[in-house]
């Protein structure tokens, strides 16, 4: 049952935080990609959970449309192709995957015409993994400065996807580097950001220990994806 799994995950997160002396609030996002809409509505009805994430734009837009009368926050966490920017309305609470200046520029123009402000996270490819999108660590401030100057984009924080590894502990240094970068964003650059989106089913406790404020959990909540 979703409700029991969610409760277990939240409890272990709280235990981990108190054991390690972590003080940040951690939001659990339920990643519902490739699961039917009914899994989201069931999850909401049985547990009251309201924070969900999707990574494919077509599927995400369709689900957003069908969920718009429920108090559900849908986050977009996948790579956003530039030719899909035009479909963005008020579908997503937050877009976690701002991964290039060009995309930021297109999104700013789009949301200016839409006359609304979109919350975004800058995706950082902290491990310089050629299989992952995101700006390099050294480009992060340039990118964030650009977003800060974009009146219709509201910079809320940073997001990262670690490399695929056998043992999640291997990625601990990447999570720690992200937290350092996140702190610099506030201490040196004064962006005043509050979201550090990192950690998935297999590594979320390590991410929390290293300072994550939002974990994105798919399989551990919904079960194995079919494709
Ligand atoms: C699928 C996905 C997740 C969740 O992964 P699980 O291993 O199923 O928990 C998290 N973040 C992103 C960006 C994803 O695409």
With a Cβ cut-off of 6 Å, ligand 1 is lined by: 31, 33, 55, 77-78, 161, 200-202, 216-220
**Closest residue (by CA) to atom 1 of ligand 1?**
218
Domains and CATH numbers, the chain: 2-222 (3.20.20.10)
Burial class (CB within 10 angstroms; exposed 0-12, middle 13-18, buried 19+) of 174: buried
User: What does pLDDT average to in each consecutive run of 10 residues of the chain (227 residues)?
Assistant: 97 98 98 97 98 98 97 98 97 98 98 98 96 95 98 98 96 98 98 98 98 98 88
b/e string for 13-34 if b means 16 or more Cβ within 10 A? Answer: beebbeeeebeeebebbbbbbe
pLDDT at 179: 98
pLDDT at 227: 72
Q: How far is the CA of 225 from the centre of ligand 1 (A)?
A: 11
pLDDT at 226: 74
Compute and round to an integer the Cα radius of gyration of the chain: 17
**Closest residue (by CA) to atom 10 of ligand 1?**
216
Tokens of 135: 């700006």
Q: Is the pTM of this model over 0.95?
A: yes
C-beta neighbour count of 138 within 10 angstroms: 8
pLDDT at 103: 98
Burial class (CB within 10 angstroms; exposed 0-12, middle 13-18, buried 19+) of 216: buried
């Amino acid at each position: 049952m979703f409700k029991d799994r969610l409760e277990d995950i939240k409890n272990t997160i709280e235990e981990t935080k108190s054991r390690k002396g972590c003080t940040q609030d951690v939001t659990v996002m339920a990643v519902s990609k490739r699961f039917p809409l009914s899994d989201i509505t069931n999850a909401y009805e049985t547990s009251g959970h309201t924070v969900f994430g999707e990574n494919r734009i077509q599927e995400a837009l369709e689900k957003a449309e069908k969920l718009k009368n429920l108090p559900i926050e849908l986050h977009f966490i996948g790579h956003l192709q530039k030719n899909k920017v035009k479909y963005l309305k008020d579908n997503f609470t937050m877009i976690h995957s701002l991964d290039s200046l060009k995309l930021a520029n297109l999104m700013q123009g789009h949301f200016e015409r839409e006359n609304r402000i979109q919350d975004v996270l800058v995706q950082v490819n902290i491990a310089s993994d050629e299989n992952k999108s995101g700006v390099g660590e050294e480009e992060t401030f340039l990118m964030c400065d650009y977003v800060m100057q974009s009146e219709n984009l509201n910079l809320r924080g940073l997001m990262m996807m670690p490399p695929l590894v056998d043992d999640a502990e291997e990625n601990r240094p990447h999570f720690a580097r992200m937290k350092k970068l996140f702190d610099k964003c506030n201490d040196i650059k004064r962006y005043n950001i509050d979201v550090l989106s990192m950690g998935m089913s297999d590594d979320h406790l390590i991410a929390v220990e290293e300072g994550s404020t939002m974990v994105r959990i798919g399989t551990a909540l919904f079960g194995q994806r079919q494709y």
